[in-house]
Structure formats: structure tokens, C-alpha cells
Structure 1
Amino acid sequence: MALLRKAGIALAATGAAHFAAPKMFEPISRVGFPQDTEAWIKRNGATELALGLALTTKKTRRAGLVGVAAYFGWLGARVAYQRRNA
């Protein structure tokens, strides 16, 4: 499962980048999180870091996959809701 490990590393790096360069994530985060965007950038970064790390090891990979599916489903729903109600 080298592909999932690499995907996990990429997701974890993206999560860490939320803390290193939060302004880079502001335009996209504001779409789904127009209120308190700065705090949501950090929350989403922490979530992506944790889920990415979960994908990197065989022992936690299944939970990581479930978490990734739930997280991205929730993000999509959040963005759709905000766009409908903006």
C-alpha cells in the first residue's frame, strides 16, 4: 500500500502547511467557513495532519481511510451549505 502511505504523507504535509502558511489557505477556507476562518484553518490543518499520519501506517490505515472519507464528505457538505445560504 505504498500509494496510501504516500497519500498520507502528502495529506499530513498539507495539514502542517495550514500552520506554516495559513494565509495560503484563507481564500479556499473562507468559502466553507466565512465566520472565524482563521480558527477553522487551524482546525482543518490539525485534522488533515492527523488523518494523513493515520494513513501512513498499516495499523491505523483503515481508521484513517474512514476518517478521510467522513472529513471530505463533511467539507463538501459544509461548502455546499454555505454557498446555498450566502
Structure 2
Amino acid sequence: MAEKKSSRLPVLAGLSLTGAGLAHFAKPELFEGITKGAFPTDTARHIQINGGIETVIGVGLLSPKTRKLAVLGSVGYVAYLASNVIRNR
């Protein structure tokens, strides 16, 4: 029973991140303000790139077999975003 409880959070996070990633394609204007700070040039392209990355990481979190790699990918993704925000200040 503990296995089921411990797997709920990664699945919820995976579904949420997958939904957010797909939303980048369905409603890109929702992400323009936040993306522009990190990527002031060609923001629309970066919205799509970020949406793709978030979708892949989210799907990766759904399966225990790919979860560790997805967590590692999310750490890299956060570092990538943070470095772009700092560089473009």
C-alpha cells in the first residue's frame, strides 16, 4: 500500500507538467510574459521549445522506469531557464 501512496505525487506532477507543456501549444499567449524574461528574442519559438521540454519531462514522470531520468531532466531544465533569465537581465 505504501508503494501506491508514494507513486501518487510523481504521477500528479507528471500529469500537471504534461498539461502545462501542452498548454504552451494550445494557448501560447499565456506563457509570453514569463518566457520573454528568459528569451527576449524569438519568444514564440522558445514558448514552443519550453512546451515540448515540459511535455516530455511530464510524460517521463508518469512511469517509474523513466522517472529518475525525468527528474534529472527537470533539474537541467530549471538550470537552463534560470541561466537564461540571469543572462538576459
Is the shorter-chain TM-score for this pair beyond 0.5, marking a shared fold?
yes
Do structure 1's residue 52 and structure 2's residue 58 form an aligned pair? Answer: yes
Which structure has the larger Rg? 2
Find the aligned partners of 2:17 and 2:29 in 1 and give their Cα distance: 18
Unaligned runs of 5+ in 1: none
Return the match for 2:81 from 51, 75, 79: 75
Following the alignment from structure 1 to structure 2, what is the Cα–Cα distance between the partners of residues 57 and 7? 12
| Matched AA of 1:80 | I
Give the share of equivalent positions with the same residue, in percent.
37
Aligned mates of 1:38, 1:31 — CA distance in 2: 12
More helix by share: 1
Runs of 4+, deviation exceeding 2 Å: none
Separation in 2, partners of 1:9, 1:76: 23
How many equivalent pairs are there?
Answer: 83
RMSD of Structure 2 on Structure 1 (CA): 0.6
C-alpha offsets along residues 10-30 of structure 1, whole Å, 9 cap, x if unaligned? 001000000000011001100
